[in-house]
Chains A and B, each alone.
Chain A
Amino acid sequence: MSAQSHAQGHGHHRNYVKIWAILVGLLVVSVLGPMTGIREVMLITAFGVAAVKAYIVAKNFMHLDIEKPIIRWTLAIAVVFMVLLYAGVAPDVQKSDGQHWKKDAGFHHLPAQPQHEGAHAEGAENGSHAPAEGAKEQPQGATGH
């Protein structure tokens, strides 16, 4: 589509005031939803309606429906990155515990279990939290948190 035909496609057959009125109606729905006190209704009216509102704005005000497909695909790729971020990080963030860590009021590292019983006993006697002898040979930075 040429720039001229793109421009011609914008204003025609679109009643922007009517589209705005629909958006305001959806806003009212999203505000009234939580007043029902039903969690499922609140989630649908808040986030479902938000998605519909965003779609209406993108389609009718940003004219994505008549924009070149490459733009829609590029935007979609950015959204996919958001989903990937969530899928990759959420399991750790939303879990309450894992290997050598747990969450309660805050985030805590748990001391690693000693490899050798002797090293543990020696450290406990000295009241020291120094790493075991073998750990000293590791390069600096290898034990960083």
Chain B
Amino acid sequence: MKTIATTRSATGIPTGRLAVWWVLVSEIVIFGGVLVSYVMHRLGHAEWAEQAAHTHMWLGAFNTLVLLSSSLSAVLAHQAAEKGDGKKAANLLYLTCLGAVTFLIVKSFEWTNEIKEGFTIQSGGFWSYYYTAAGLHAFHVIAGALIMLWVANSAKKNQDLHRVENIGIYWHFVDIVWIFLFPLLYIAK
């Protein structure tokens, strides 16, 4: 028997979407803990600004543009899925995955350069937070892209189109986390 998403009687929300929101609530606490810790330490250590000056703002800005654009393709995929156009939804999800890959390539380039310059996770408090927060985020980008590929493959056959919305909600959250990481790690110097 094939499992289908049913609507929960208590909330009136489809089970799959409710599960995604529940995941995001726990993600807020995970990322929130890291970001709040970073902010309080940053405010307590004025000298971290000198370390932050070594991050590449333009690469961070480019990656922000990439994630904002991938959010656009994700929401357009959701729109296509609502209209029952699974093939278009799948293609837009593949485009979103391309955004994820671009983001990770830029991040790899950035980290390689920083490590070559001697800034590793052990180079001090700022760099510990930098690699932890950005690394945790990159892990979510990888996970999201893999799930999106799986959803796109189903959507291409017009199957389980409700999942397009679910993965989209997760992806927009990953985008929002980066929206806050960008000024914290790249702009505030």
Contact = CB atoms under 8 A, between A and B. Distances in A.
A7 B173 contact: no
A128 B21 CA distance: 58
Residues of B contacting A: mostly? helix
A120 interface: no
A94 B40 contact: yes
B79 A46 contact: no
Given A11-B82, A30-B182, A50-B182, A75 B28 contact: yes
Interface stretch (A78-86, A110-118, A129-137): A78-86
Contacts of B172: 57-58, 61-62
Interface band, chain B: 35 or more
B183 A10 contact: no
Contacts of B22: 74
B40 A90 contact: yes
Given A20-B69, A94-B43, A50 B183 contact: yes
Contact of A57 (B11, B41, B179, B182): B179
Interface string B16-57: 000001101110110011011101110110000000000001
A124 interface: no
Interface of B: 7, 11-14, 21-22, 24-26, 28-29, 32-33, 35-37, 39-41, 43-44, 57, 61, 64-65, 68-69, 71-72, 74-76, 78-79, 82-83, 165, 168-169, 172-173, 175-176, 179-180, 182-183, 187-189
13 contacts: A2-B7, A16-B75, A16-B76, A16-B79, A19-B72, A42-B187, A57-B71, A57-B172, A61-B172, A85-B37, A86-B40, A90-B43, A95-B44
Interface of A: 1-3, 7, 10-11, 16-17, 19-20, 23-24, 27, 30-31, 33-34, 42-43, 46-47, 49-50, 53-54, 57-58, 60-62, 67-68, 70-71, 74-75, 77-79, 81-82, 85-86, 89-90, 93-96
